[in-house]
Amino acid sequence: MKTTISQVHKYVDQTVTIGAWLANKRSSGKIAFLQLRDGSGFIQGVVVKEEVGEEIFQKAKALTQETSLYVTGTVRKDERSPLGFELNVTDVEVIHESVDFPITPKEHGTEFLMDNRHLWLRSRRQHAVMKIRNEIIRATYEFFNENGFVKVDPPILTGSAPEGTTELFHTKYFDEDAYLSQSGQLYMEAAAMALGKVFSFGPTFRAEKSKTRRHLIEFWMIEPEMAFMDHEDNLVVQENYVSHLAQSVLKNCQLELKTLGRDVAKLENIKAPFPRISYDDAIKFLNEKGFDDITWGDDFGAPHETAIAESFDKPVFITHYPAKIKSFYMKPDPTNPEVVLCADLIAPEGYGEIIGGSERIDDYELLAKRCEEHGLTSDAYKWYMELRQYGSVPHSGFGLGLERTVAWLSGVEHVREAIPFPRLLNRLYP
């Protein structure tokens, strides 16, 4: 019976054949242990010389790392293995021999691993992170489908810049100027006026000269947008969504979290509601903590965010930032127009901002004024302005950065491990 490693539990004490690669191997004169992987999982194959005979045993013993194989054997229950099963090998057929695989079980430097990202992805650790990423994507669709959202795909090539013009990837669109999308938000606002509650999930691009553990040049964002929802409603959706992601990963990725050595106690607690702190209070808190490098009107740096996050064991919303350090479309707080009805959601354990969101300006005149102030006067914003001319309604939305969320829930230090092929400052290969 041909099967995969993830399905062996169905064939206990039966003979199966698995297409696999040799991840690692150890052997003595009488027995060889083959660490096999097939994409669906990892299993140990045990080859006993007395059982298989000299020829098959020597063939198994000589196998090199990453050689592709068909392995035949009997599935045995094994309490000691993480999978719960091992394969008592009866035959090995080589498909293609791998010679000098560069990533050996010893330690390698980061740059070397990044140069070999196309091969590094095969490792147990990277496999676990990609499975967690997949679970977060699955749980995202589940959450928004269950809550009445419609998936809408905004364009990648655009003429507008929702998050400021300094970090745009410029390209030519025949005779016109165009940019790679840095956020689909403006289009999602138009979609919300047509479909009520919508979400997007796609790649976004920022030509940021930042070289930190939180920054990618190309990253994936989930951007929900909701008609008739205010700032408070927006936060409730966000905390329910992020709770759903954490609980789904805990439930469906136990093996992967174990592989990564993730402290799951820290994730069990990620349940709505999340604490909220105003920007004003966050500044006071930081000043009291001895951060004298920040005053009202400044944006937070990574150390500030981490200091605030450290006093909570859940993600924390920082709300009501000064208008002048936030995007042009954010709605001013009617009780204090110096600040806007927005929030950033800061993840625990130093992973930083995973969500940015706000209520949007729904008044035509005010939006026109803001566009003017931000120099966004080109025709590229005409359609966006028009959304405020034909039945404008209160509406809100947010963007969750997929890779920062994957890094946080997986417990990996750097976002470069949270995406299959990271685009980083000075890295376009592989």
Q: Which residues form the interface with ligand 4AD (CB under 6 A)?
A: 162-163, 183, 185, 206, 208, 215-216, 219, 221, 223, 353-357, 397-399, 401, 403-404, 415
State how far the Cα of 270 lies from the Cα of 405, in Å rounded to an integer.
13
> Segment contacting Mg ion (CB under 5 A): 267-275, 307-315, 316-324, 355-363?
355-363
For the bound state, the minimum distance from the C-beta of residue 34 to ligand 4AD, rounded and expressed in Å, comes to 39
What are the residues whose beta carbons fall under 8 Å from the beta carbon of 6, sequence distance 6 or more?
40, 41
- Binds 154, which of Mg ion, ligand 4AD, none (CB < 5 to 8 A, cut-off by type)? none
For the bound state, the minimum distance from the C-beta of residue 162 to ligand 4AD, rounded and expressed in Å, comes to 5
For the bound state, the minimum distance from the C-beta of residue 353 to Mg ion, rounded and expressed in Å, comes to 5
State how far the Cα of 189 lies from the Cα of 185, in Å rounded to an integer.
6
- If one asks whether residue 411 binds Mg ion (CB under 5 A), the answer comes out as no
Judged by CB, which is closer to ligand 4AD: 73, or 154?
Answer: 154
Judged by CB, which is closer to ligand 4AD: 348, or 356?
Answer: 356
> Segment contacting Mg ion (CB under 5 A): 42-50, 53-61, 279-287, 350-358?
350-358
What are the residues whose beta carbons fall under 8 Å from the beta carbon of 124, sequence distance 6 or more?
23, 37, 42, 259
In order of 154, 229, 327, the CA distances from 165 in angstroms are 19, 28, 11
Judged by CB, which is closer to ligand 4AD: 71, or 387?
Answer: 387
For the bound state, the minimum distance from the C-beta of residue 224 to ligand 4AD, rounded and expressed in Å, comes to 8
Number of residues that bind Mg ion (CB under 5 A): 1
State how far the Cα of 164 lies from the Cα of 407, in Å rounded to an integer.
26
State how far the Cα of 205 lies from the Cα of 215, in Å rounded to an integer.
11
What are the residues whose beta carbons fall under 8 Å from the beta carbon of 35, sequence distance 6 or more?
22, 23, 24, 25, 42, 44, 45
> Which residue minimizes CB distance to Mg ion?
356
Judged by CB, which is closer to ligand 4AD: 57, or 179?
Answer: 179
CA-closest candidate to residue 244, choices 341, 149, 128, 330: 149
For the bound state, the minimum distance from the C-beta of residue 247 to Mg ion, rounded and expressed in Å, comes to 25
Judged by CB, which is closer to ligand 4AD: 35, or 185?
Answer: 185
For the bound state, the minimum distance from the C-beta of residue 126 to ligand 4AD, rounded and expressed in Å, comes to 18
- If one asks whether residue 352 binds Mg ion (CB under 5 A), the answer comes out as no
Q: Position of tokens 């669109």?
A: 173
Helices (H), 48-94: 49-52, 54-61
In three-state form (DSSP H/G/I as H, E/B as E, the rest C), the secondary structure along 166-204 is CCCCEEEECCEEEEECCCCHHHHHHHHHHHCEEEEEEEE
Judged by CB, which is closer to ligand 4AD: 208, or 313?
Answer: 208
- Binds 133, which of Mg ion, ligand 4AD, none (CB < 5 to 8 A, cut-off by type)? none
CA-closest candidate to residue 430, choices 120, 109, 65: 120
Residue 333 neighbours by CB distance under 10 Å? 18
- Binds 215, which of Mg ion, ligand 4AD, none (CB < 5 to 8 A, cut-off by type)? ligand 4AD
Judged by CB, which is closer to ligand 4AD: 45, or 352?
Answer: 352
- If one asks whether residue 224 binds Mg ion (CB under 5 A), the answer comes out as no
- Binds 237, which of ligand 4AD, Mg ion, none (CB < 5 to 8 A, cut-off by type)? none
For the bound state, the minimum distance from the C-beta of residue 219 to ligand 4AD, rounded and expressed in Å, comes to 4
For the bound state, the minimum distance from the C-beta of residue 297 to Mg ion, rounded and expressed in Å, comes to 17
- If one asks whether residue 162 binds Mg ion (CB under 5 A), the answer comes out as no
For the bound state, the minimum distance from the C-beta of residue 401 to ligand 4AD, rounded and expressed in Å, comes to 2
Contact present, 18 and 5 (Cβ < 8 Å): yes
- Binds 163, which of ligand 4AD, Mg ion, none (CB < 5 to 8 A, cut-off by type)? ligand 4AD
What are the residues whose beta carbons fall under 8 Å from the beta carbon of 335, sequence distance 6 or more?
none
Contact present, 397 and 192 (Cβ < 8 Å): yes
State how far the Cα of 369 lies from the Cα of 24, in Å rounded to an integer.
63
- Binds 183, which of ligand 4AD, Mg ion, none (CB < 5 to 8 A, cut-off by type)? ligand 4AD
List beta partners, residue 345.
317, 355
State how far the Cα of 18 lies from the Cα of 40, in Å rounded to an integer.
11
- Binds 75, which of ligand 4AD, Mg ion, none (CB < 5 to 8 A, cut-off by type)? none
CA-closest candidate to residue 421, choices 107, 113, 42: 113
For the bound state, the minimum distance from the C-beta of residue 69 to ligand 4AD, rounded and expressed in Å, comes to 38
- If one asks whether residue 356 binds Mg ion (CB under 5 A), the answer comes out as yes
Residues in touch with Mg ion (CB under 5 A): 356
